[in-house]
Structure 1
């Protein structure tokens, strides 16, 4: 039995689906403060920890989860981080960098996954508006591949103490839009969240490149 903290979101559903494909039972749990988390994860061999997007204090969230896992006797944890977590210009990435340190010092067996931007975050069914340059390079990750990689590290030996960056392909948004036959244009930052604005500015300057070879090896794709 594998606990998936944040198991009802799109990431958690992808992980649970990939575990089911391997005949492994998953226990999806909601993303909230868990007064009874230790009892909910009791009997699980491992846990996959996903924090809510843009959580205001992800290290505290992860610390609470790690404490509950430890008290419940869960021996292994896989933490869902992000590609390039130590990027000082992006505050929510820095929260994941601090959380990675907590995971490494938790006393549990651990593995860290650092996914690139999800392909599914781009709606390529029609005209695509972007608040950052469509011509910078990204390491994009398909959600199904994220699930497969998570299932590998949760169920196979040899991944303890490992940190893996994951991407399905490297491309610009314009290249993806051209392949889909849809137009893409640059628009103003809507200013919905200061962390998102900081992220868009970082993307403008650097993109978010991630190599693909690690994922290829993990899911034995040639």
Structure 2
């Protein structure tokens, strides 16, 4: 089975491609250079995994272009890489993913949506950890390899059409993860220096949300998908 991986050159796309290869599927990683003629790029693929660039300024438009190309190419299935809690009004970039989810659901393709929590790999636990939000806030953390394996499952196995899955490998705080690794965890000052708008305001809003609510995600769904 040939599977297009849109956004295939980033860390998530590479992990998904590796998971597909491990299941004897043929991943086709696609990047920005392929968007000039995306229908031709995805031709011959029976399914696609769609990952938008991080903090994309208009994710719904990106996903709409992907869906149009997949429909034109005759791809039968799409899996969209969203985020946990996409409907949180206090996080504008999450709302962009919520609008993109709506496009996926109305695309006419067989679809599945994955909503992973924050990646464990975003934290370097080999040294003291400093993050711009409350280190005692609760998160559902997702291991990147677990998410990639779940993506391969829903792309290649039956029974997942029309499903939306929140994914987390474990529930913890940053402080707890750091303590387990034998390092300290502290709050870092964050100014957003060097970032352009809207990324600066989006990230500021996200960190403020984390302070108030964390980002809890249950772990049962991922364990079930991976049969653990």
| TM-score bracket, shorter-length normalisation | over 0.9
Q: Distance in 2 between matches of 1:31 and 1:184?
A: 37
> What is the deviation of 1:52?
0.4
**Superposition TM-score, scaled by structure 2 size:** 0.95
- Contact in 2 for aligned 1:31/1:51 (Cα 8 Å): no
Residues 10-64 of structure 1, C-alpha deviations (whole Å, 9 max, x = no match): 0001100111110111000014671211001001010000000000100001001
Secondary structure of the corresponding residue to residue 191 of structure 2:
coil
Partner of 1:98: 99
Secondary structure of the corresponding residue to residue 161 of structure 2:
coil
> What is the deviation of 1:118?
0.1
Q: Distance in 1 between matches of 2:84 and 2:218?
A: 10
Instruction: Classify 1:80/1:32 alpha carbon distance in 2 versus 1 (closer, same or farther; 3 Å).
Output: farther
Q: Distance in 2 between matches of 1:5 and 1:60?
A: 14
Unaligned ranges ≥5, structure 2:
none
Question: Which segment drifts farther, 3-12 or 183-192?
Answer: 183-192
Secondary structure of the corresponding residue to residue 106 of structure 1:
coil
Q: Distance in 1 between matches of 2:97 and 2:161?
A: 19
1:35 aligns with 2:42: no
Q: Distance in 1 between matches of 2:4 and 2:188?
A: 40
**RMSD of the alignment, in Å?**
0.9
Q: How many equivalent pairs are there? A: 221
Q: Distance in 1 between matches of 2:48 and 2:21?
A: 15
Unaligned ranges ≥5, structure 1:
none
Secondary structure of the corresponding residue to residue 35 of structure 2:
coil
Which portions of structure 1, spanning 4 or more consecutive aligned residues, are displaced by more than 6 angstroms?
A: none
**Superposition TM-score, scaled by structure 1 size:** 0.98
Partner of 2:165: 164
Question: Which segment drifts farther, 180-189 or 140-149?
Answer: 180-189
1:44 aligns with 2:34: no
> What is the deviation of 1:187?
1.7
Matching of residues 187-206 of structure 1 within 5 Å: 187-191=188-192, 192=195, 193-206=200-213
Q: Distance in 1 between matches of 2:32 and 2:121?
A: 21
> What is the deviation of 1:166?
0.2
Partner of 1:212: 219
Partner of 2:136: 135
Matching of residues 147-162 of structure 1 within 5 Å: 147-162=148-163
